[in-house]
Amino acid sequence: MQPSLEKLRKFFRLEHENSYSNTAVIGGLANILNYWEGEARNDNLPEDVVQATVQTLHAYADQAPEQRAEALISLWKQIQDEVPEAAAARKQTASRLPASEPEKAEAPARQGNPVEPPVSEEKPEAVPVVEAPAAASADTPPLPAPQPVPPVHQQADPQKNRPQANPKGKGSGRADSRPGGVTSKRPIALNASLTVLAGVGPKHASMLTRLGLNTLGDMLYNFPRRYDDYSQLKPIRDVFYGQQVTVIGTLTMVDSRQVRGGKMSIIEAVINDGTAGLRLTWFNKPWLINRLKVGEAISVSGTIDQYLGRLVMNSPDWEPVEAENLHTNRIVPIYSLTANVTQLWLRKLMHQVVVYWAPKLTDHLPDAIRQAANLPELGTALLQAHFPDSQEKLKAARQRLAFDEIFFLQTGVLRQRRDYQSVAGRVFEVENAWLETRLSALPFALTNSQKKAIGDIRLDLKSGKPMNRLLQGDVGSGKTVVAALAAAMINQSGAQVAVMAPTSILAEQHYRNFLSLLAGEGGPLKPEQIRLLVGDTAGGEKDEIRAGLADGTIKVVIGTHALIEDPVTFADLQFVVVDEQHRFGVEQRAALRSKGTHPHLLVMTATPIPRSLALTVYGDLDLSVMDDMPPGRQAIETHVLTPRERERAYTLVKGQAASGYQAFIIYPLVEDDGSGETPSPLLAATQEHERLQKEVFPHLKLGLLHGRMKPDEKDAVMLAFRDRKYDVLISTTVVEVGVDVPNATVMMVEGANRFGLAQLHQLRGRVGRGEAQSYCLLIPDHEDAAENERLQAMAETNDGFILAERDLQQRGPGEFLGTRQAGYATSLKMASLSDIPLIEKAREQAQALFARDPDLKNPENALLSEALGRFWGSTKGDVS
């Protein structure tokens, strides 16, 4: 069929679905005539068909629905009479129009008809969601039928499938296209391609692709970046300067003039709403002169400005008041754009898509859950999230959509957890006496949290299931010794342990700790059974370590990602420890694990997370929280200084150095804004190192450490600092992670406003590790930034959990949770992980559901199961 007729058919059909409400096209069906006439002539349609169409559509808006139905049907009949191609599609279209035969008699006509929404019997599965994209063939009307073409054998005899169609009433929601029927609840193809949408050709589709919008589902879930609230209509008399308003009035004057020698044109108009007049001005939009007509009513939205003492509105959005007030007079969504896509065009398209499709979505959330959580239906939520009727409805909509995300996340991790536990883990049991001996060999008594964590791990190891435990403890809480003791429990029966740390400095530090904890005098291991494997371990030594791991003579290997390089194999790897786990990607952790058969896993993090959040994001892992610190630590004194007070900081550093202590001075990476050339990250640390050495601390020894140095250079500097060869270490944040220098008492952070709270807290954790009073000095790079809320929070508390919550609120979870969260970033569009009440609600529901139907096998959870699959589709299985 000719494309222009195809379009007509599409819109007529849509009109029918919409009960002839003249909403198939935004602004009314007649709007298509702007372009349709030209296309129709291009298609060589008979002139009287073109004329009849033009007349019918022009008259359409003013008719009652019955008249409209009649008009469209007779127009289509005329078209079929005159255009053979349209006649071929006769049955299909006729059957959709109201005058057609009763529902049952239609069934045979459906055969081979890809246009008709398939009734459920055409897809006998229990799940009434259609996932196949619309066939792109020219016979398939784009809108609204991105249903799959039923397989031929089913089409051939739909009656045959009928008996199994509605055993549970499943199909009832689909029989919605019957004349006058309510159009709702038909499962739709979220993955239908965008070219099926009215007004979207291949060219538009490629523009949308650049916005990441490839399917109908992408569109529905393409939420506005923000909203402009024009919903507060005001009498013009009451508006005031600076207000953002929508007013409606009649144009009493429209004028255009040229200024700046014709370089610029100005359109001026006045509208009056009976209470007062308001002057409107548009710049460089000369075409408006033909569209704004004195005497016509329009609505305008914008900000009230002032010109020569009068209130004016500059370049307001406007539209005739008969229209749907889509762009004004309501809360208007603002979408992200890309080149060649205008807000107006996209918004119209979104409106068309959302208004049509959202109500037709079948909610994947079972009613019971939705009601228990007191949430609106999915269709309503999507509609309101795009084109909200009020702020309250918008809020409810966002809650609903956020709930889905958290709920999916939680359901996914619960499954993950079950999967972990579905395999056997080797049992490792230790005697109390053995543990006593190990504990008494330590240079200190364990804190209560450490004891509790050890107890948790001990239970895990004898459970017969692989351990999957997250050990969460603030910096300095003493996680290493817990990991070392756990390792000893494994080694005790001869099995192997791998410990992976994000940097070689940290790996080396762990190596030393493990050596002294496990291979000291009377320790369970010999020093040569514990080895360090990092990127720049010498080639010969690497070979030797690999051989030792492969034949089982080496019991503990500590290293960096070098551990997961291919040639490393283990004789019997039973325990994997990942330190600072947020620094690793999912794949890296999985890679290390895969070197053993279901080894026990302990991941450690110093990133404090509110418990409910941890249970959601890390719900697949068991959680041990270490919330008390080894004794004897003094709270670190934190001060926020202005740049002018920097001298005070230097004085403190000098004083501490004179007493034999050491200091860190941290610099952010800053953008070079000097030359006007392409900005490049500038290492402030390098420049400052020179200046400080010459001008500020000429009598002290200053070291320099930054990420651009080679790993062995970094290690050398770090080790020299630890061995007190430097008084002050000038560094970037590479020292952030886990390095232990108990003699350091000052952490001075320049450009502190550039760091997140969690990161600042980590940095602060580098000091205060010994007995001496330690200091953290935060210097933002502007005077006024000294008021920076985040920095004050640092000064107010040493509690990582409190800071974590503030960081979450201020920067969002992406920054905060690191790599793990990054994987979800695309999935979590609505949910704020700082909305703890919502998280708890979703978690409760997910748990209850999981307890009832873990595999979502019950029919009422079928849709949910599919939605869950979509949500997790792009995310890897192993999320630990």
Min CB(765)–Mg ion separation in Å? 9
Q: Are strands 244-259 and 297-307 parallel, antiparallel or unpaired?
A: antiparallel
How many positions of this chain bind Mg ion (CB under 5 A)? 1
Min CB(751)–ligand ADP separation in Å? 24
DSSP state of 786: G
Look at residue 333 and give the partner it binds from Mg ion, ligand ADP, none, a contact being a CB closer than 5 to 8 Å depending on partner kind.
Answer: none
Question: Phi and psi dihedrals of 450, rounded to 5?
Answer: -65, -40
User: How far apart are alpha carbons 772 and 769 in whole angstroms?
Assistant: 8
Question: Residue number with the shortest CB distance to Mg ion?
Answer: 738
> Which residue, 300 or 487, has its beta carbon nearer to ligand ADP?
487
Min CB(623)–Mg ion separation in Å? 17
Contact (CB, 8 A) for 466 and 600: yes
> Which residue, 475 or 545, has its beta carbon nearer to Mg ion?
475
Look at residue 477 and give the partner it binds from ligand ADP, Mg ion, none, a contact being a CB closer than 5 to 8 Å depending on partner kind.
Answer: ligand ADP
SS (H, E, C) 115-176: CCCCCHHHCCCCCCCCCCCCCCCCCCCCCCCCCCCCCHHHHHCHHHHHHHCCCCCHHHHHCC
- Site map (CB under 5 A) of Mg ion, residues 731-760, x = contact: -------x----------------------
> Which residue, 179 or 742, has its beta carbon nearer to ligand ADP?
742
Min CB(725)–ligand ADP separation in Å? 20
Min CB(742)–ligand ADP separation in Å? 6
> Which residue, 626 or 868, has its beta carbon nearer to ligand ADP?
626
Which of 800, 805, 735 shows the shortest CA–CA distance to 472?
Answer: 800
Which residues within the stretch 340-359 sit at the binding site for Mg ion (CB under 5 A)? none
Min CB(478)–ligand ADP separation in Å? 3
- Site map (CB under 5 A) of Mg ion, residues 689-728, x = contact: ----------------------------------------
> Which residue, 17 or 579, has its beta carbon nearer to Mg ion?
579
User: How far apart are alpha carbons 524 and 438 in whole angstroms?
Assistant: 9
What 3-state class would DSSP assign to 386?
A: helix
User: How far apart are alpha carbons 441 and 522 in whole angstroms?
Assistant: 8
H/E stretch holding 318 reads: strand 317-320
User: How far apart are alpha carbons 377 and 128 in whole angstroms?
Assistant: 18
User: How far apart are alpha carbons 378 and 404 in whole angstroms?
Assistant: 9
> Which residue, 668 or 765, has its beta carbon nearer to ligand ADP?
765
User: How far apart are alpha carbons 712 and 720 in whole angstroms?
Assistant: 12
Look at residue 481 and give the partner it binds from Mg ion, ligand ADP, none, a contact being a CB closer than 5 to 8 Å depending on partner kind.
Answer: ligand ADP
Min CB(481)–Mg ion separation in Å? 10
Which of 795, 708, 727, 809 shows the shortest CA–CA distance to 760?
Answer: 795
> Which residue, 56 or 480, has its beta carbon nearer to ligand ADP?
480
Min CB(463)–ligand ADP separation in Å? 25
Min CB(681)–ligand ADP separation in Å? 29
473 binds Mg ion (CB under 5 A): no
Question: Residue number with the shortest CB distance to ligand ADP?
Answer: 478
Contact (CB, 8 A) for 329 and 320: no
Min CB(505)–ligand ADP separation in Å? 12
User: How far apart are alpha carbons 544 and 547 in whole angstroms?
Assistant: 5
Look at residue 317 and give the partner it binds from Mg ion, ligand ADP, none, a contact being a CB closer than 5 to 8 Å depending on partner kind.
Answer: none
Look at residue 478 and give the partner it binds from ligand ADP, Mg ion, none, a contact being a CB closer than 5 to 8 Å depending on partner kind.
Answer: ligand ADP
> Which residue, 524 or 738, has its beta carbon nearer to Mg ion?
738
Look at residue 147 and give the partner it binds from Mg ion, ligand ADP, none, a contact being a CB closer than 5 to 8 Å depending on partner kind.
Answer: none
Question: Phi and psi dihedrals of 231, rounded to 5?
Answer: -75, -10
> Which residue, 143 or 737, has its beta carbon nearer to ligand ADP?
737
Min CB(825)–ligand ADP separation in Å? 27
Please list, residue by residue across 740-761, b when 16 or more beta carbons sit within 10 angstroms of its beta carbon and e when fewer do: bbbbbbbbbbbbbbbbebbbbb
Which amino acid appears at position 398 of this protein?
A: R
By the criterion CB under 6 A, which residues form the site for ligand ADP?
Answer: 444, 446-447, 450, 473, 475-481, 606, 630, 738, 740, 742, 769
User: How far apart are alpha carbons 198 and 10 in whole angstroms?
Assistant: 8
Residues sharing a CB contact under 8 Å with residue 296, sequence separation 6 or more, in sequence order: 250, 251, 320
Contact (CB, 8 A) for 745 and 773: yes
> Which residue, 236 or 453, has its beta carbon nearer to Mg ion?
453
Min CB(767)–ligand ADP separation in Å? 12
Residue 631: other Cβ atoms inside 10 A: 8
Residues sharing a CB contact under 8 Å with residue 644, sequence separation 6 or more, in sequence order: 783
Question: Phi and psi dihedrals of 86, rounded to 5?
Answer: -70, -35
Question: Phi and psi dihedrals of 675, rounded to 5?
Answer: -80, -15
- Residue 498: CA count within 13 A, CB half-sphere: 34
> Which residue, 503 or 656, has its beta carbon nearer to Mg ion?
503
> Which residue, 413 or 471, has its beta carbon nearer to Mg ion?
471
Look at residue 450 and give the partner it binds from ligand ADP, Mg ion, none, a contact being a CB closer than 5 to 8 Å depending on partner kind.
Answer: ligand ADP
> Which residue, 477 or 774, has its beta carbon nearer to Mg ion?
477
User: How far apart are alpha carbons 338 and 323 in whole angstroms?
Assistant: 27
Which of 590, 480, 542 shows the shortest CA–CA distance to 819?
Answer: 590
Min CB(446)–ligand ADP separation in Å? 5
Min CB(594)–ligand ADP separation in Å? 26
> Which residue, 179 or 630, has its beta carbon nearer to ligand ADP?
630
Binding site for Mg ion (CB under 5 A): 738
